A and B are shown apart, each in its own frame.
Chain A
Amino acid sequence: MTEPTTSSVVDLPELETIRRQIFLALFIALAVALHTLEALLPSPVLGLRLGFANILALTALFLYGARAAWIVILARIFIGSLLLGNLFSPGFLLSLSGGLVAMSMMGGAKTLFGRFVSPIGVSVLGAVGHIAGQLLVAWLVLVRHGGLWSLFPVFVIFAIATGLVNGWATVLLLDTLKKHPLFSSKGGNGALPPEV
């Protein structure tokens, strides 16, 4: 650490871009690790995932905006599935469809509501979107039967619970990150940093 890395006055735009790319890469790496770790855990009662990897996508969304969050989600799904060896399998298809719907809802909510939503609300919407996307593709591709939707309310309750937990974790992570000069240079009030 010979260079002053935290002075925002002398920061060049390129430096900021590179710094952001490095942190995005770290977020993706962490998300992949969580994705893989979760696959190793014995599944909870209904075989549902806890979705901890989404914490990183939410963090990227609130720190760097929707584009960065899309990158984290898509990279996590592709790399995670590659590591687990289920790339392009039905399980991967469910992962991808869940991720696409979840990210659309999270990005949409952030864009629409801006300061009025915290990571917690966005996380809950994402979790519900994830399960909705999964069920939609399961219904379209795997089991073509309307009765599948009777499972939806059970999944939604579970998604709300995991969404709250992940949203809360994201708030705490953002709090911690904000304490570091690299992230606090832009100001903001902790949970609701300005869009970069």
Chain B
Amino acid sequence: MAVTGLFSRMTFLDRIIVLTLLVGAGYAFHVAAQKKDGSRVVVEQQGKVVFSAPINGDREEIFSGPVGETLVVIHNREVYIGRSDCPRKICMGMGHIHRSGDVIACVPNQILIRIAGEEKGDDRAYDILSR
């Protein structure tokens, strides 16, 4: 009911706008899905690298920022925020990341976690190794 009502009140241009945005977002997802799995976890605070570790070793690390502590967990080749003292817990909601170039940002605590890949040649060698 509500959905058909909504649709009937949209103008042609409205539909074009929504469709264009959806296609754009879908394409960005498609591009993101092409990315290779990363190999290293890099944590930055205020633009400086404060931590770097391989993604295939399980470990937990606590970082302190302006609003408190943030627990970064590397587990099962994935990285996520286990616990954070920031008010809205957006970083915890960002879920688990594992692809090269993925990020989790905790803005209040000024922490940025990203997954780094390796050089092209290294990447291939690594794939062979893991198989």
Q: Is the interface of A mostly helix, strand, loop or mixed?
A: helix
- By the criterion of a CB under 8 Å from any partner CB, how many residues of chain B are at the interface? 36
Contact of B53 with A by CB under 8 A: no
Tally of contacts, chain A with chain B, CB under 8 A: 98
B29: chain A residues within 8 A (beta carbon): 153
B102: chain A residues within 8 A (beta carbon): 147, 150
Contact of A87 with B by CB under 8 A: no
Contact of A196 with B by CB under 8 A: no
A residues with a Cβ closer than 8 A to B are: 43, 45-47, 90, 113, 116-118, 120-121, 124-125, 128, 138, 142-145, 147-148, 150-153, 156-157, 160, 164, 168, 171, 191
Q: Is the interface of B mostly helix, strand, loop or mixed?
A: helix
B residues with a Cβ closer than 8 A to A are: 2, 5-6, 9-15, 17-18, 21-22, 24-26, 28-29, 32, 44, 47, 88-90, 93-94, 101-103, 105, 107-108, 110, 112, 114
| Complex contact B18–A124 (CB within 8 A) | yes
| Complex contact B28–A46 (CB within 8 A) | no
Closest to A138 in B: B107
| Complex contact B11–A47 (CB within 8 A) | no
